[in-house]
Structure 1
C-alpha cells in the first residue's frame, strides 16, 4: 500500500479585470482581500502555480513533488508513463462578472513548436448563470481565413461568433483551435489540459487601472484558429441519479456528472488513473480503507489511482459533483 489518501489542495486565487464575488457567495471560498476573484485554480501543475496539499500528513507538499515520489500510485501508471512528473490537468472555477476576452488556444503541435508546452483543449460546466448570460463557442456561419480577417479589420468580429444563452448544467466542449468566450454572468467549472497558453483576439477595447488596453495576439491566433462551422456547439448529455453520467470524453480527460442522495460504492480497478471530484452542491464523505475525508460545497478532492475502491456517502439531502479522470 502507498499510504495515499484523498487529497485536497489550497486553491490558487486569481484577481481578474472581469472577476466577481461568487467564489465566496456561491462556492464558500475565502479569497482574502482580492477585489475581483475571477479564477480559483483547484488543482494545478502549471509551472509557477503548482498546487499545495492542505490536508493529512502530506500537507505542505506540492503536487509535482507528490508525482515525483508516488508516480503511478498517485496518477496511474499509464498517465505517469505519458506525462512524467507534470500533472496533466488544470482544474478551475471561473466567475465572469463581466465578459471574458474572445480567445483561442493552440493545439499540441503548435503549442509544442512555439511554447514547448501542451495545447489546451478544455470543457466548461455551467455551475450558475444570471438571466441572459451568454457563452461564445465557435462561429455562426461558414468562415474562411480571409473572411475572418475582413470582419476583424472592420471591427465586426462579433458578428461572426456563435452565442448560446446558458443555464445551470449546460456543457461546452472547447477543442484547441475553437474561438470562444465566457460571457458576463456565467460561473463555470473548467477542466483543461495543463497549459496556460492563450491567444487573446478581442477584448472589447477595455482598459486596465492604468488606462492600458490588454495585449492582443492577432497574428499568433491566426494559425491556431479552426475555421470550421457547426450548427450546434452545446454538448448534449443525459443525467441518471445515483450514477456517473458521462458528459465529455476525449483523449485528454473524461468528465462525468454525478448527483446522488445515497451511499455509492465506486470500483475503478481497471481505470489506472487518478479521479477528481469538483463538488458543486451539498456535502459528502469519501470513505476508504484507512479513513474518510469530508468534501464541502465548492471543494475539490483528488483520489489517488492506488485507491481503486471507495465509497461516497452523502452528508446532505443531495450532492452534485463532477467526476474527472483520464481513460
Structure 2
C-alpha cells in the first residue's frame, strides 16, 4: 500500500525544568504505561519539558503512527519497511534505517544547562552516533526569558575551562530576549542554554549526545570531563547572533545538511507544490493556527490535519503536496534533507 501524510502520537519527556504548558496551552494528552504495563493517561500536572512529535530514538523515545493503515506502528518499523519511499534514496544511504529528523515541542519553566553538541563527523568517530544542529521557533516567551547562544568575544581554551568551572560562563555569551515568531538556528559546536518561561518548537538531528559545560549542579569532576570532551569541537570564536536569528518568511536555513522554510498562509489559504524532483522526506511543524495536508500519489482523499504544536511527515515518494490553512491561517516550519556527497555516516561505517 502507498504511503501517505503521517501523523504520530506525542511522546512525553519529563524534565526538572519543564512545566504544564504543553497540556495547558497546546492541549496535548499523553498515553503512557503504568508500573504494571497498562496504558493510562499522563496527569496534566506532570512537569513535561519536551514532547516528541516525530522521534526515532528507540527506548529514549519512539513515535507511534496515529493515522491511516500504519496506525500503531513505530516510526522505526515504518522506516525499516519503506526506507527510500519514506526518507529518500540518498538519505537512506547516509542515515540507514534511522529516521533522520527529530521534531519536538518544549516547555521551559526553569534553566537549561549551558551545553554543546558535536558535529556529525565527531559524533560518529567517537560515539558511533549523529551530532546535532537545532532550529527553534519561539511560540511564546515571557519578558524575563533569555536564550544564550555563542560567545560575545573570542575565548581561549583556558578561559572557557576556568569560566565553566567557576560558573561565570554566561557572562561570555550573547544573551537574547526571545519573542514570539523568532527563529533561532544553533549549529553544532555552539554553546547555548535557555532560562525563564519559553514555549518553542524545535527541529533537529535525532541525537541525544550533549555535553554540559555548566549547570550549577554537577560535580567539578563531571564538569571537567564534559569540557574536555567538547574542547576540540566547541566554537570558541566570537559569534554574531544576527547570523542565528530570523523572523522572515521563506527559506531561513540552507545548509549542507538540510533546508528549513517558514511558511505562512492566510486564513483558508492554499499552497500546492510539485515534489517530483525531491529525494527527501519532509517534516512540517505547525507553530500557529492549523492546516490540512494532502499528497499525491495517494488514493485516499482524506486530509491529515495538524494544529499548533503538532507535526506531519510527508514521505519522499510524494510527487505533489497541497496545504490548506484553517480559518485562522497557519504558520509552519518545514525541513527536508540535502543530498550528501560523501557518505561517511555512522550507519555505513559502523
* TM-score calculated relative to the size of structure 2: 0.85
> Deviation of residue 303 (structure 1)?
0.9
Query: What's 1:111 paired with?
Result: 123
SS at match of 1:78: helix
SS at match of 2:241: coil
Cα offsets for 1:241-284 (capped at 9, x unmatched): xxxx1111222222111110212112121111111111112122
- Segments ≥4 residues shifted beyond 6 Å: none
Cα offsets for 1:141-163 (capped at 9, x unmatched): 11110121232333322221211
Residue 172 of structure 1 contacts residue 234 of structure 1 at CA under 8 Å; is this kept in 2?
A: no
> Deviation of residue 214 (structure 1)?
12
Query: What's 1:12 paired with?
Result: 11
Cα offsets for 1:43-88 (capped at 9, x unmatched): 1122322211111110111112112211111111111122111111
> Deviation of residue 317 (structure 1)?
2.5
Tell whether 2:202 aligns with 1:190. Answer: yes
Residue 167 of structure 2 contacts residue 214 of structure 2 at CA under 8 Å; is this kept in 1?
A: no
> Deviation of residue 218 (structure 1)?
3.1
Residue 170 of structure 1 contacts residue 234 of structure 1 at CA under 8 Å; is this kept in 2?
A: no
Choose which of 288, 292, 304 in structure 2 pairs with 1:285: 292
Query: What's 2:99 paired with?
Result: 87
Whole-Å Cα distance in 2 between the matches of residues 73 and 10 of structure 1?
22
Q: Give ranges in structure 1 of 5+ residues lacking alignment.
A: 207-211
Query: What's 1:276 paired with?
Result: 283
Residue 288 of structure 2 contacts residue 332 of structure 2 at CA under 8 Å; is this kept in 1?
A: yes
Tell whether 2:277 aligns with 1:263. Answer: no
Residue 111 of structure 2 contacts residue 194 of structure 2 at CA under 8 Å; is this kept in 1?
A: yes
Query: What's 1:209 paired with?
Result: none
SS at match of 2:110: coil
Residue 102 of structure 1 contacts residue 179 of structure 1 at CA under 8 Å; is this kept in 2?
A: yes
Choose which of 317, 322, 329 in structure 2 pairs with 1:311: 322
Cα offsets for 1:148-184 (capped at 9, x unmatched): 1232333322221211111012122111111000221
Residue 137 of structure 1 contacts residue 233 of structure 1 at CA under 8 Å; is this kept in 2?
A: no
Choose which of 143, 149, 153 in structure 2 pairs with 1:137: 149
Residue 276 of structure 1 contacts residue 300 of structure 1 at CA under 8 Å; is this kept in 2?
A: yes
Tell whether 2:51 aligns with 1:44. Answer: no
More displaced, 97-106 or 61-70? 61-70
Query: What's 2:180 paired with?
Result: 168
